[in-house]
Homo-oligomer: A and B are copies of this chain.
Amino acid sequence: MEVTSNKFMVTKCHIEGAPDVTHFAVKEEMVPLRIDKNDHTTLVIVKNLYVSVDPYMLNLMKTQNSSNEILTALSLILPGHAIPSIGVGRVLDSVHRDFKAGDLVLGMLSWAQYTIVPIGVDPLLQKVDDKMGFPLSYYTGILGYSGITAYGGFFKVCKPKKGEKVFVSSACGSVGNLVGQYAKLFGCYVVGCAGTKQKVKFLKEELGFDEAFNYKEETNLSAALQRCFPEGIDIYFDNVGGEMLEAVVENMNTFGRVAVCGVMSEYADSAKRGFPNMLRIIYKRIKVEGFILLDMFDVYEDFFSTTTQHLKAGKMKVIEDISHGVESIPGAFVDIFRGNNIGKRAVKIAEE
């Protein structure tokens, strides 16, 4: 049987609070490159090309508690075990009727060189069309799950109207930068916040946001929002929760909508909860709605055709921050929580 060495990343312990590179270790195992006819355990073997590094994964690394009990759609990440992650790869072998050797796939792979999907497990994979001609890394971001999350969250949850005033937090993040770009292309007034001067400049000069501010430089978030939104906020795409959500509610217009996509402020510190003013939520008739990627697949076709058209027309920018090799994954992950990245954080695992 043809086998090869597979390096994969594991957590050494459950992670409470902010992650650090010392929480991770590389393991190595031998994996098959082909499914032997006597092997009745393996469904699909994928050679990982790019893997995604996403903030939500930290929730799965925590000790089982009331926070991650809710993540029923996702598997917990257990110390010492392979870490499931979104990625793009090439099928090396498959006994699943939907996939064959050579297929390019997008979906749930792992922080590893190879992903083995065992029999009995539904492979959360979809085929990707090689002939589109886009760089493969795009499928971890703008043409993958960051893209569908931004597109579905903005169009399906926020239900924007042209000219509405849109605020995006973590606006330089993998999802936030796309929400801002979709909102501008749709004809909204768009403001973003981020955590460095450089990012604020980037939002205004490179991504065409109407306004942007560095939340770390503001002593009063509500006043900062009032300055950027003299006519109030209609839509808030929330990636952070906490105090910012509270300040946004104070500045929201009647029938405002909040799409809750992430709670960056809570991921690494569960004490930092927001206290939205419920009286305002009533009198301004504000809707706050949580959503996840899994709810967005009904707009996938629409998302994909719209986004590839925008890309071909040069109307959207692809912001990626890509490191190389399994060993670089912990550093990339830790960086997200330190606010060190602009755009999609992904790791290139192998050349084709």
Interface stretch of the complex, out of A123-131, A172-180, A260-268: A260-268
Bound Cα distance from A277 to B72, whole angstroms: 16
Q: Which of A56-72 contact B (CB under 8 A)?
A: 59, 66-67, 70-72
Q: Which of A277-319 contact B (CB under 8 A)?
A: 277-292, 295
Bound Cα distance from A245 to B245, whole angstroms: 17
How would residues 332 to 345 of chain A score, 1 for a CB under 8 Å from any chain B CB and 0 otherwise? 00000000000000
Q: Which residues of B contact A295 (CB under 8 A)?
A: 285
- A290-B273 contact given A70-B283, A250-B66, A295-B285, CB 8 Å threshold: no
Q: Which residues of B contact A280 (CB under 8 A)?
A: 67, 70, 290
Bound Cα distance from A59 to B70, whole angstroms: 36
Using a CB–CB cutoff of 8 Å, the interface residues on chain A facing chain B are 59, 66-67, 70-73, 241, 245, 250, 260-263, 266, 273-292, 295
Q: Do B277 and A67 touch across chains, with their CB atoms under 8 A apart? A: yes
Q: Do A288 and B288 touch across chains, with their CB atoms under 8 A apart? A: yes
Bound Cα distance from A198 to B300, whole angstroms: 54
Q: Do A286 and B290 touch across chains, with their CB atoms under 8 A apart? A: yes
Bound Cα distance from A276 to B249, whole angstroms: 14
A-B contacts, 9 listed (Cβ < 8 Å): A73-B283, A260-B281, A263-B282, A274-B278, A276-B276, A280-B290, A287-B287, A287-B288, A288-B289
Say how far A272's CB is from chain B's closest CB, in angstroms. 10
- A262-B282 contact given A274-B275, A277-B67, CB 8 Å threshold: yes
Bound Cα distance from A158 to B73, whole angstroms: 24
From A288, which residue of chain B is reached at the shortest CB distance? B288
Q: Do B282 and A277 touch across chains, with their CB atoms under 8 A apart? A: no
Q: Which residues of B contact A71 (CB under 8 A)?
A: 283
- A279-B266 contact given A66-B250, A70-B284, A284-B70, CB 8 Å threshold: yes
Q: Which residues of B contact A66 (CB under 8 A)?
A: 250, 277
Q: Which residues of B contact A276 (CB under 8 A)?
A: 273-274, 276
Q: Do B292 and A282 touch across chains, with their CB atoms under 8 A apart? A: yes
Q: Which residue from B266, B284, B289 sits with its C-beta under 8 Å from A290?
A: B284
Q: Which residues of B contact A266 (CB under 8 A)?
A: 278-279
Q: Do B278 and A283 touch across chains, with their CB atoms under 8 A apart? A: no
Q: Which residues of B contact A286 (CB under 8 A)?
A: 289-290
Q: Do B67 and A278 touch across chains, with their CB atoms under 8 A apart? A: no
Q: Which residues of B contact A70 (CB under 8 A)?
A: 279-280, 283-284
Bound Cα distance from A172 to B292, whole angstroms: 36
Bound Cα distance from A288 to B288, whole angstroms: 5
Say how far A57's CB is from chain B's closest CB, in angstroms. 13
- A282-B290 contact given A66-B250, A250-B66, CB 8 Å threshold: yes
Q: Which residues of B contact A72 (CB under 8 A)?
A: 283
Q: Do B285 and A241 touch across chains, with their CB atoms under 8 A apart? A: no
Bound Cα distance from A286 to B291, whole angstroms: 8
Closest 8 CB pairs of A and B: A281-B290, A282-B290, A273-B275, A241-B278, A263-B278, A288-B288, A287-B289, A70-B283
Bound Cα distance from A262 to B281, whole angstroms: 10
